[in-house]
Chain A
Amino acid sequence: MDQIIREKIREVKKGDQAAFSDVVEFYQHKIYQHCYRMLGNAHEAEDMAQEAFIRAYINIDSFDDGRKFSTWLYRIATNLTIDRIRKRKPDYFLDAEIKGTEGLDMYSQLASTDISPSDKVEGIELQRYIHQEISELPPKYRSIIILRYIEEFSLQEISEILDIPLGTVKTRIHRGREALRKRLRHV
């Protein structure tokens, strides 16, 4: 697959826009999921995932063929989502969900944070609970936890995606795991 993607990127660089649609097809679910987990809601996830592909296309000439395309694409997506989180108005979350985008509405969201430790959460509820807890981690831990355990990148790959030293990735993943352990220990 890597070889096919590499070939497609070369065609895109030559100016063949249609070749890019194969690249989008191939990565769309991964990048969308990444944005969804980072942002916590479907509406912003779609916007940012779209933006990530558009930026990749516009800046394709600055992509170094010797590197992995997925690493580059994930970096664009991660930076966009972190940027979006920073620019968020404090009440964005509630607003966005009230508008009825997919996911949790305001009430169930509030409810899910109120789940008492002894409550047994299963199935869909459990999925929602985990999702909620991930999206409440500080973004710098969140990105690493998502990349490591949901998207299954190695720590070395994460260091390349986020362009931070391996040591920093390790420190952050320890803290992220500890933070989640406290929140999920009773589930």
Chain B
Amino acid sequence: MNAHSESIALMHKYLDGDLNKTEEQQLQGHLEGCEDCQAHLRELRRTIALLQSTEHIEAPVNFADKVMNHLPKEKKRMKYKRWFKTHPILVAAAVFFIFMLGGMFTDWNQDSNLQLVVSKQENLIIKGDTVIVPKDVVVDGDLLVKNGNLIIKGVVDGNVTIVNGELLESNSLDGEGLMASVGEINGELKTVNRMFDWLWYQIKSFFSGVFSTD
């Protein structure tokens, strides 16, 4: 390593704040007698100054919204939780109703031990713990299934609520592949599987019953 390249190495250490006293004196000594190295250091400093002078670039206007829209859906449970957090009055009301209605807990526990319950039975097929709305069958009004699964090949003209079970795709039983025809629900589908959801469902039904705001 010749004197110049040694001094250049020291310049970089200097720029990174890594020079000790001896090295500092060594660099200074060389710079005093070497115009090339003086120019070199000047250019390095100028380069850094140019880099630091670059304008700040901002993200496009809707960037944050786009990111949020591309995130995978959050778990339902959390939505409820957050909703409760931002609606403290309703939480208070909920607690009140839990005491008021008290029986809800026992309802739940009893239900869990109970067998399959279906709100209406006409024209529906029941296989084990699965309720099937056959093709060409139209259920007129809301349908509630407790402690069982539901397959809809026909049409439900109302809301569907499944407690402690789930909505199965019809293909999972008859193996027709993904293209198997799926029935229709002309209302809202609710699946209630956990205690929390159950309470939520109860409270909501209570509210819609009392104030019919839904």
Which residues does A use to contact B, with CB under 8 Å? 14-18, 20-21, 24-25, 28-29, 31-33, 36-37, 42, 46, 49-50, 53-54, 57-58, 126-127, 130-131, 134, 145, 149-150, 155, 170, 173-174, 177-178, 180-181, 184-185, 187
**Complex formed: what's the CA distance from A114 to B167 in Å?**
65
A28 touches B64 (CB 8 A): yes
Chain B residue nearest to A184 in the complex (CB): B47
B78 touches A127 (CB 8 A): no
- Given A21-B68, A130-B53, A177-B48, list of 12 further CB < 8 A pairs? A24-B67, A32-B58, A49-B63, A50-B63, A58-B72, A170-B18, A177-B12, A177-B15, A180-B51, A181-B47, A187-B46, A187-B50
B32 at the interface (CB under 8 A from A): no
A57 touches B63 (CB 8 A): no
Q: A15-B75, A150-B54, A187-B50 are in contact. Are A46 and B16 (CB under 8 A)?
A: no
B72 partner residues in chain A, CB cutoff 8 A: 57-58
B60 at the interface (CB under 8 A from A): yes
Judged by DSSP, the binding face of A is helix
Q: A17-B74, A20-B71, A32-B59 are in contact. Are A180 and B47 (CB under 8 A)?
A: yes
B57 at the interface (CB under 8 A from A): yes
Q: A17-B71, A50-B70 are in contact. Are A134 and B78 (CB under 8 A)?
A: no
B107 at the interface (CB under 8 A from A): no
Report the minimum CB–CB distance from A23 to chain B (whole Å).
Answer: 10
B59 touches A29 (CB 8 A): yes
Q: How many A-B residue pairs have CB under 8 A?
A: 107
Report the minimum CB–CB distance from B91 to chain A (whole Å).
Answer: 16
B68 touches A28 (CB 8 A): no
A37 touches B64 (CB 8 A): no
A49 touches B59 (CB 8 A): yes
Q: List 24 A-B contacts (CB under 8 A).
A: A15-B77, A15-B81, A16-B81, A16-B82, A21-B64, A24-B63, A24-B67, A25-B64, A28-B64, A29-B57, A29-B58, A32-B57, A33-B58, A36-B57, A54-B71, A127-B54, A130-B51, A150-B54, A173-B12, A177-B44, A177-B48, A180-B47, A181-B43, A185-B47
B55 at the interface (CB under 8 A from A): yes
Q: Out of B40, B46, B64, B82, name the residue touching A18 (CB < 8 Å).
A: B82
B56 at the interface (CB under 8 A from A): yes
Q: Tell which of B9, B57, B75 has the most Cβ of chain A within 10 Å.
A: B57
Report the minimum CB–CB distance from A32 to chain B (whole Å).
Answer: 4
B22 at the interface (CB under 8 A from A): no
